[in-house]
Chain A
């Protein structure tokens, strides 16, 4: 097997929705919008694009890119710093819990399935409470451990986010299976744009800006009945 092909297979495995990281328990804010009746079938893809450009891209994807680069150099101090800054920027409780819970699950499974020193070193940081263990940082280290190139790692994880988001849309009856696939294909240029920006963003600029999504997240925390943990 060629090296490139092996890296592609690692990327496919980590981005597969069957990879047990618990993403299926999250709606990434969509349920909050749905409960407030602030989203419908037509605007759901617009919310997805907004979250990619203004939240996931500048925060999670940037953290993934920075952690991937630092892990590649075994620069664990930077990995921990990226992780802590990302965690500090998650001002909504549900999002912090979601990020660390799915991060730890991903880390556990990736250590079993991929193994390697990088994942062990990061797991030690998390166990020692030097790093909170946010999902994008754990993913960055896992992609680095599998030698997946940075652009594929970032784009792959953004695609996994989009799959998870439209999957939540399916369960919230905001889309159907065929339409969901059209959305995923249509947003490909946005994923490319957000990937390019995430690969060049500096640590000092890490952080999203989605005021209305913050409002929805705050309301979701207090809602009585919900399908999703975020």
Chain B
């Protein structure tokens, strides 16, 4: 682990950047790739120690950091709730961020962010964020960051690789906004690209969600893409703790009366289920996702979703 050269480009640059993003490669006059504050690294290791999950290893390099885990879920006092923080106030051009989180056997970890991730305006180069999350045997892992807001002229690529043991449970979700809606800014970003890869410990890919939104390219407002909606949210529940069809039914029921356009399906290899919802009302979507999260938690671990106080 410690022999990795963390400041070598091979460590902080994604193996592959989609061409829609890569074509913006450039060298900003101020703070290019690799300068202080441009390579954000966060490596966390969690293990079950005694009756609860402890943070047993940590490496952090600004702007990414965490405070110590908190234990406030009344139904799961063993759950290490960890707030991922960025000291930079958002993602800016030429940022290369990388998070590596290892959740050991039988650990219980909740990862979230304190506030929305803002992707700022760019005029040279792009920004990338890689997240590598490993969920070992019997672990219960939640990765539920706050929404991402791509600002005008931003170019962003995010690659999330979740490697889950077949006995692990992983709940994750993401919301992307069309822009700073309060300012009337919609789909003014240049490109938002995100890959979510689900893998097994032998590296075999079993589910893949590829998001490519390029308003100035082939467009994002068409009837099959965003169709005029301002938000897109996705929620995944990969777990052996209930049959996939039952997880899907649970997600479906959780949103059935919400009046939002949503769809639920069973994931490949019956490893779980997922939910996609599109809307234009951020609080309604946040509430719908919370209902989905709460319902799936009750089904899988018999515990409701805790209230996460963020300010």
C-beta contact mask, A36-70 vs B, less than 8 Å → 1, else 0?
Answer: 10110001001101110111001000000000000
CB pair A211 B208 closer than 8 Å? no
Q: Which of A50, A216, A218 has the most CB of B within 10 A?
A: A218
Q: Which of A16-24, A90-98, A146-154, A155-163 forms contacts with chain B?
A: A90-98
**With A50-B224, A88-B206, A212-B226 known to touch, is A58 a contact of B212 (CB < 8 Å)?**
yes
Q: Does A34 contact B (CB under 8 A)?
A: no
* Shortest distance between the CB of A27 and any CB in chain B (Å): 13
CB pair B225 A50 closer than 8 Å? yes
CB pair B263 A219 closer than 8 Å? yes
Residues from chain B with Cβ under 8 Å of A39 in the complex: 223
Q: Which of A137-145, A175-183, A199-207 forms contacts with chain B?
A: A199-207
CB pair A91 B212 closer than 8 Å? no
Query: In the complex, which residue of chain B has the Cβ closest to the Cβ of A214?
Result: B276
CB pair A87 B262 closer than 8 Å? no
Query: In the complex, which residue of chain B has the Cβ closest to the Cβ of A88?
Result: B208
Query: In the complex, which residue of chain A has the Cβ closest to the Cβ of B251?
Result: A218
Interface size range on A against B? 35 or more
* Shortest distance between the CB of B14 and any CB in chain A (Å): 10
Residues from chain B with Cβ under 8 Å of A127 in the complex: none
Residues from chain A with Cβ under 8 Å of B223 in the complex: 33, 38-39, 43, 46-47, 50, 212
Q: Does A187 contact B (CB under 8 A)?
A: no
Roughly how many angstroms separate A163 CA and B28 CA in the complex, as a whole number? 48
Q: Does A25 contact B (CB under 8 A)?
A: no
Contact of A208 among B207, B210, B226 (CB under 8 A): B210
CB pair B222 A46 closer than 8 Å? yes
* Shortest distance between the CB of A178 and any CB in chain B (Å): 23
Roughly how many angstroms separate A38 CA and B206 CA in the complex, as a whole number? 31
Roughly how many angstroms separate A29 CA and B265 CA in the complex, as a whole number? 14
CB pair B209 A218 closer than 8 Å? no
Q: Does A210 contact B (CB under 8 A)?
A: yes
What are 10 residue pairs bridging A and B, where the CB atoms are less than 8 Å apart in the complex? A43-B223, A88-B198, A89-B208, A89-B210, A91-B267, A212-B226, A212-B229, A215-B276, A218-B276, A221-B265
Chain A interfacial positions (CB closer than 8 Å to B): 29, 33, 36, 38-39, 43, 46-47, 49-51, 53-55, 58, 84-85, 87-94, 96, 202, 204-219, 221-222
- Known contacts A43-B223, A221-B263; 15 further A-B pairs (Cβ under 8 A): A36-B261, A46-B222, A53-B218, A53-B219, A88-B208, A91-B207, A91-B265, A94-B265, A202-B16, A206-B210, A211-B276, A212-B227, A212-B261, A218-B276, A221-B265
> 8 shortest A-B CB distances, which residue pairs?
A218-B263, A207-B210, A50-B224, A215-B263, A50-B222, A204-B16, A213-B224, A210-B224
